[in-house]
Chains A and B, each alone.
Chain A
Amino acid sequence: MALLDVKNVKKIYTTRFGGSKVQALKDVSFSVEPQEYVAIMGESGSGKTTLLNILAALDKPTSGKVYLKGRDLSQVKEKEMAAFRRQNLGFVFQEFNLLDTFSVEDNIYLPLVLAGKKYEEMHKRLLPIAEHLGIMDILKKYPYEVSGGQKQRAAVARALIIKPQLILADEPTGALDSRASDELLNLFTQINQSGQTVLMVTHSVKAASSAKRVLFIKDGQVFHQIYRGCQTNEEMYQKITAALTVLTTGGELK
Chain B
Amino acid sequence: MSKVFYFKLAFTNLKKNHKTYIPYLLTCIITIMMFYCLSAVSRNSGLDQMNGSESLKWILKYAVWTTGIFAVIFLFYTNSFLIRQRKKEFGVYQVLGMDKRNLIKMEICETVITTVIGLTVGLLLGMLFGKLMFLLLLKVVQFPVPLSYSVEPVALLQGTLLFLGIFAATLITNLFQVGRVKPVELLKGESIGEKEPKTKWLLVLVGIVTLAGGYYIALTTEEPLTAIPKFFIAVVLVIIGTYCMFVAGSVALLKTLKKKKKYYYKTRHFISVSGMIYRMKQNAVGLANICIMSTVVLVLITMTVSLYVGIDDVIATRYPTDFKTEIYMPEEGAKERADQIVKEEAKTADVIIKDLAEYTSGNLACMFDGGNEIVVDMTKVDENFSTLAEEYCQLILLPVSDYNELEGTDVTLSENQVMVFSSGSKPYTADTLKLGENMYEVKEKLDSMRIEEGTMSNVTGNIYVIMSEETQMDNLVRQYGIEGANALSYNIEFNLEGKKEAVSSAMKKMEGNISNQIGESARIEIREEHKADFLQIDGGFLFLGIFVGSLFLMATVLIIYYKQISEGYSDRDRYQIMQKVGMDKREVVRSIKSQVMTVFFLPLAAAVLHLGVAFKLMAKLLEIMYLTNVPLLALCTGATVLVFVVFYVLVFAVTSREYYKIVR
Q: How far is the CA of A225 from the CA of B411 in the complex (A)?
A: 121
Judged by a CB distance under 8 angstroms, whether A122 is at the interface is yes
Interface residues of A in 102-123 (CB under 8 A from B): 102, 106, 109-111, 113-116, 118-119, 122
Chain B 570-582: CB-based contact to A (< 8 A → 1; otherwise 0): 0000100111111
With A97-B581, A109-B265, A111-B581 known as contacts, the answer to whether A144 contacts B274 (CB < 8 A) is no
Please tell me if the beta carbons of A101 and B274 are within 8 angstroms of each other in the complex. Answer: yes
Tell me, in angstroms, the Cα distance from A212 to B266 when the chains sit together. 39
Interface positions of B from 228 to 273, Cβ below 8 Å from A = 261-262, 265-267, 270
> Cβ of A111 and Cβ of B582 under 8 Å apart?
yes
Stretch with Cβ within 8 A of B (4 or more), from A85-93, A183-191, A201-209: A85-93
- Are the C-beta atoms of A113 and B267 separated by less than 8 Å? yes
Q: Which residues of B contact A101 (CB under 8 A)?
A: 194, 196, 274-275, 277-278, 574
A207 CA / B661 CA spacing, docked (Å): 38
Contacts of B277 in A (CB 8 A): 101
* B574 and A99 contact, CB distance less than 8 A: yes
Scan B378-392; emit 1 where CB is below 8 A from any A CB, else 0: 000000000000000
Most B-side CB within 10 Å, residue of A58, A79, A85 = A85
Q: A residues within 8 A CB of B580?
A: 58, 91, 93, 97
Contact of A86 with B582 in the complex, beta carbons under 8 Å: yes
Given contacts A99-B578, A119-B261, contact A82 B583 (CB under 8 A): yes
Classify chain A's interface size.
20 to 34
Complex interface: chain A residues within 8 A of B574 (CB): 99, 101
Contacts of B262 on A, CB cut-off 8 Å?
Answer: 119
A214 to chain B, nearest CB (A): 25
Residue B438 CB within 8 A of the other chain? no
User: Which residues of chain A are near B583, meaning CB under 8 Å?
Assistant: 82, 114
Chain A residues whose CB sits within 8 angstroms of the CB of B265 once the complex forms: 109, 113, 118-119, 122
* B581–A144 touching, CB < 8 Å: no
Task: Kindly provide the distance from the CB of B384 to the nearest chain A CB, expressed in whole angstroms.
Answer: 63
Q: How far is the CA of A142 from the CA of B274 in the complex (A)?
A: 12
Is B452 an interface position by the 8 A CB rule? no
Cβ contacts under 8 Å, A11 to chain B: none
Contact assessment for A106 and B267 in the assembled complex, using a CB-CB cutoff below 8 Å: no
* Closest Cβ neighbor of A109 among chain B residues: B265
CB of B275 within 8 A of CB of A144, answer no
Residue A100 is within 8 A (CB to CB) of chain B in the complex: yes
Which residues of chain B come closer than 8 Å to A81, judged between CB atoms? Answer: 584
CA distance A79 to B585 in the complex (A): 9
Q: Name the one of B195, B266, B581, B585 contacting A142, with C-beta atoms under 8 angstroms.
A: B195
A158 interfacial contact with B, CB 8 Å: yes
Decide if A158 touches B195 in the complex (CB within 8 Å): no
A100 touches B194 (CB 8 A): yes
How distant is the Cα of A129 from the Cα of B515 in the complex, in angstroms?
101
Closest B residue to A142 by beta carbon equals B196
Q: For chain B residues 570-625, which have a beta carbon within 8 Å of chain A?
A: 574, 577-585, 587
Residue of B nearest to A102 (CB): B274
Binary B-proximity of A68-100 (CB < 8 A = 1, otherwise 0): 000000000001011101100101010001111
Given A82-B587, A119-B265, A110–B581 Cβ distance below 8 Å? Answer: yes
Q: Residue on A with the closest CB to B585? A: A82
- In the complex, residue of chain B having the shortest beta-carbon distance to the beta carbon of A121: B265
Q: How many Å lie between the Cα of A118 and that of B265 in the bound state?
A: 7
How far is A208 from B581 in the complex, measured between Cα atoms in Å? 24
Are the CB atoms of A144 and B195 closer together than 8 Å?
Answer: yes
Q: Is the CB of A114 within 8 A of B581?
A: yes
Given known A113-B265, A113-B267, contact A158–B191 (CB-CB < 8 A):
no
Is chain B's binding surface mostly helix, strand, loop or mixed?
A: helix
Smallest CB separation, B575 vs chain A (Å) = 10
User: Given contacts A82-B587, A113-B270, A119-B261, is CB(A100)–CB(B581) below 8 Å?
Assistant: no
User: Which B residues lie within 8 Å of A158 (CB)?
Assistant: 581
A144 pairs with B577, CB closer than 8 A: no
A116 and B267 contact, Cβ closer than 8 Å, known pairs A99-B574, A142-B196, A144-B195? yes
Contact B582 A82 (CB under 8 A): yes
Assembly CA distance A109 to B196 (angstroms): 18
Q: Report the nearest B residue to A96, measured CB to CB.
A: B577
Measured between beta carbons, the chain B residues less than 8 angstroms from A116 are: 266-267
**Among B262, B270, B275, residue most surrounded by chain A Cβ atoms (within 10 Å):** B270
B192 part of interface (Cβ distance < 8 Å): yes
Q: Which residues on the B side are within 8 Å of A111 (C-beta)? A: 581-582
Chain A residue with Cβ nearest B273: A101
Task: Kindly list chain A residues whose C-beta atoms are within 8 Å of the C-beta of B274.
Answer: 99, 101-102, 106
A113–B196 alpha-carbon span in the complex (Å):
21
- Bound CA–CA A110/B155 (angstroms): 56
- Which of A24-65 touch B at CB < 8 Å? 58
Mask of A151-184 contacts with B, CB within 8 angstroms, 1/0: 0000000100000000000000000000000000
Q: Which residues of B contact A113 (CB under 8 A)?
A: 265-267, 270
Chain B, 166-200, contact with A by CB distance < 8 Å: what is the 0/1 string? Answer: 00000000000000000000000001101110000
Using CB atoms, name the residue of chain A closest to B274.
Answer: A101
A170 nearest in chain B by CB position = B580
Contacts of A102 in B (CB 8 A): 274
- Chain A's nearest CB lies how many Å from the CB of B507? 74
| Residues in B whose Cβ lies below 8 Å from that of A82 | 579, 582-585, 587
Evaluate contact between A144 and B194: CB separation under 8 angstroms.
yes
A86 to B583, CA, bound (A): 8
* A85 to B583 CA separation, bound complex (whole angstroms): 9
With a cutoff of 8 Å between Cβ atoms, the chain B residues found around residue A86 in the complex are 581-582
Chain B residues lying within 8 Å of A89, measured Cβ to Cβ, are: 582
How long is the Cα–Cα vector from A111 to B581 in the complex, in angstroms? 6
* CB nearest to B196 among chain A residues: A142
Residues from chain B with a CB closer than 8 A to the CB of A118 are: 265
Say how far B275's CB is from chain A's closest CB, in angstroms: 6
For B577, what are the chain A residues with a Cβ–Cβ distance below 8 Å?
97-99
What residues of chain B lie closer than 8 Å to A58, measured between beta carbons?
580
List of B residues within 8 angstroms of A98 by Cβ:
577
Q: Is the CB of B192 within 8 A of A144?
A: yes
Contacts of A85 in B (CB 8 A): 582
Could you tell me the distance between the alpha carbons of A144 and B188 in the complex, rounded to whole angstroms? 9
Q: Which B residue's beta carbon lies closest to that of A144?
A: B191
- The docked-state distance in angstroms from the alpha carbon of A14 to that of B125 is 48
Q: How far is the CB of B578 from chain A (nearest CB, A)?
A: 7
Taken residue by residue from 545 to 581, chain B's Cβ proximity to chain A (1 for < 8 Å, 0 otherwise) reads as 0000000000000000000000000000010011111
Inter-chain CA distance A91–B583, complex, in Å, is: 13
CA distance A113 to B263 in the complex (A): 11
Closest A residue to B191 by beta carbon equals A144
Measured between alpha carbons, how far is A102 from B265 in the docked complex, in Å? 12
A118 to B264 CA separation, bound complex (whole angstroms): 10
Q: How far is the CA of A169 from the CA of B265 in the complex (A)?
A: 27
Q: Are A114 and B192 in contact (CB under 8 A)?
A: no
Determine the chain A residues whose CB is within 8 A of the CB of B194 once the complex forms: 100-101, 144
Which residues of A are found within 8 Å of B195, using beta-carbon distances?
142, 144
A58 to B261 Cα, complex, angstroms? 32
Enumerate chain A interface residues (CB-CB to B < 8 A): 58, 79, 81-83, 85-86, 89, 91, 93, 97-102, 106, 109-111, 113-116, 118-119, 122, 142, 144, 158
Would you list 14 pairs from A and B whose C-beta atoms are within 8 A, ordered by A residue?
A: A82-B582, A82-B587, A85-B582, A89-B582, A99-B574, A99-B577, A101-B194, A106-B270, A106-B274, A109-B270, A111-B582, A113-B267, A114-B581, A114-B582
Chain B interfacial positions (CB closer than 8 Å to A): 191-192, 194-196, 261-262, 265-267, 270, 274-275, 277-278, 574, 577-585, 587
Given contacts A91-B580, A99-B274, 7 further A-B contacts (CB under 8 A): A81-B584, A82-B579, A89-B582, A93-B580, A101-B277, A118-B265, A142-B196
Closest 3 A/B residue pairs (Cβ): A86-B582, A82-B584, A119-B265
